[in-house]
Amino acid sequence: MAYASLGDFIKRLDKAGELRRIKTPVSPVLEITEIADRVMKMPEGGPALLFENVKGSKFPLAINLMGSRKRMSWALGVEDLEEIAAEISALTKLPSDVPSTFMGKLALLPQLSVLGKISPKMVTSAPCQEVVKLGDEANLDDLPILTCWPDDGGPYITLPLVFTKDEGTGKRNVGMYRIQKQGPHETGMHWQRHKVGSRHFANFEAKGRDIPVAIVLGGDPALTYAATAPLPDEIDEMVFAGFIRKKPVELVKCKTIDMEVPADAEFVIEGVVPAGVRRREGPFGDHTGYYSLADDYPILKVTAITHRRNAVYPCTIVGPPPMEDKYIGLATERLFLPLARLFVPEMIDYHLPAEGAFHNLALVRIKKRYPGHAFKVMHALWGLGQMMFTKCIVVFDEDVDVQNPAEAVWRAFANVDPERDIAFVKGPIDVLDHASPMMAFGSKMGVDATRKWPDEGFTREWPDVLTMPTEIKQKVDSIWKDLGIK
């Protein structure tokens, strides 16, 4: 199911009792963070919030729209994320399943026709350009941009879709990179060095060229999710969003730069990132729960701001987990399992607990088939896209529920002989990691928490986990009510 706009999604949440409208005037400086933080720490992630009176801005501000499993699923147009995971899984099976018979090929047509219906479409007029402000009129002060934490380097746009194009091929990329407001017409560009936006800029800069950039806010929430998804570079996020929403994303040409942006967005900030310019960006209260340190990043000079007449400003906050991004990460975990399994088929399941800030801890469940199998799996994962950032990978046997971190901790600590079962490797580290000896380069740890085999040199007896026989469980089930235990 596709949403015509962010407003359409907000309406659905409102109708379902998932949204709280806040009329009390509140400041975007720290106050909204404190309110949203309390809400995001409620069981199941708390409700979505619409602040209708943000001091200093005429625009309402929406936050925590995707902040529960249910709302994250609704954002992607399904009742539960597993529905999309199942569709992706079906697609991954296409190549090996292509049947040899004519009838078999025919049976695949419905699946293939889906692919033809998801490419973006160009339109000539768009709600996101109902109001067009150019030059000095394009003023970031008009937006209710949050100052999230006390030591932040400034106000930050926290849910931006950053559109760039490759210098040579013109291929689009959309990534979510925080945007620090550095004045009414300038921002920082925190695309980390491993990310595609950063590479696009580097290629322009190498030729002495400025890169055009559009920062988009809102639209169907599937688009916002797509900007965060760790897609292979060759996959256009707007095609992926089209796949999720089962409807092409409509794009319109920007007013001042060579870029196409979602027609149904709330706001579009158009601008240019000049070659050869760097400025201090940060610190920023980050999703690790710590401030990420200030560093030098490129800047954007705003050339236009366009928006809907009744635009809503979407945002989030990050900080000590759990926050709204717990559920964005959960979507990635579920949707990317079938894709990761193309490369690591023995992986039955994995879980990236929010407490591990996604890149600090992965719990992996495998069907172990040979000595050292757990080590093979951790190395394979470190070689897989953004999984390269995972600081600690713990690999379990198939009988461990990695979705239950309490069980995983119990089993890991019981099963591990640290000297024998822990491997340290060196490699790229998440830019936000403050503990690595160097920025973006350091060590990672793999833990083999599987049962050890004789042909791994383990000659002692390995005990069984305690379980009760089924007949005893059934007997107790049958008398449970009579026991009067509540």
Ligand X SMILES: Cc1cc2nc3c(=O)[nH]c(=O)nc-3n(C[C@H](O)[C@H](O)[C@H](O)COP(=O)(O)O)c2cc1C
Instruction: Find the part of the chain contacting ligand X (CB under 6 A) among 190-198, 203-211, 241-249, 268-276.
Output: 190-198
214 - beta bridge partners? 163, 270
Q: Cis omega (within 30 of 0) on the bond before 322?
A: yes
Residue 24, both tokens = 């009390």
Q: Is 210 a catalytic residue?
A: no
196 vs 395, beta carbon nearer ligand X: 196
User: Which of the residues 293 through 312 are near ligand X (CB under 6 A)?
Assistant: none
Site for ligand X contains 181 (CB under 6 A)? no
Selection from 444, 443, 445, 446 nearest residue 374 by Cα: 446
For the residues of 152-208, what is the DSSP string, one character each?
-SS-EE-S-EEEEE-TTT--EEEE---EEEEETTEEE----TTSHHHHHHHHHHHTT
- Compute the least distance from the CB of residue 445 to ligand X, in Å: 22
> Cβ closer to ligand X: 81 or 400?
81
176 binds ligand X (CB under 6 A): yes
Quick one: the chain helix, strand, coil %, rounded to 5? 35, 25, 40
**Closer to ligand X by Cβ: residue 82 or 295:** 295
Instruction: State the nearest-atom distance from the C-beta of 37 to ligand X, in Å.
Output: 14
Catalytic-labelled residue, pool 142, 286, 421, 430:
286
> In the range 383-402, which residues lie near ligand X by CB under 6 A?
386
Among positions 147, 256, 303, 316, the unique one binding ligand X when judged by CB under 6 A: 316
Distance CA 69, CA 79 (A): 9
CB 259 to ligand X: min, Å: 15
Stretch that binds ligand X, among 33-41, 172-180, 343-351, 444-452 (CB under 6 A): 172-180
- CA–CA separation, 413 and 390 (whole Å): 19
Question: What is the CA angle 269-270-273, rounded to 5?
Answer: 115
Q: Does 248 bind ligand X (CB under 6 A)?
A: no
Binding residues for ligand X restricted to 416-445, rule: CB under 6 A: none
* Of residues 173 and 256, the one with the C-beta less far from ligand X: 173
Spatial distance between the Cα atoms of 300 and 294, rounded to a whole number of angstroms: 17
Tell me which residue has tokens 């967005």. Answer: 265
Binding residues (CB under 6 A) for ligand X: these are: 173, 175-178, 190-192, 195-197, 228-230, 316, 318, 325, 328, 386
Q: Catalytic amino acids?
A: 286
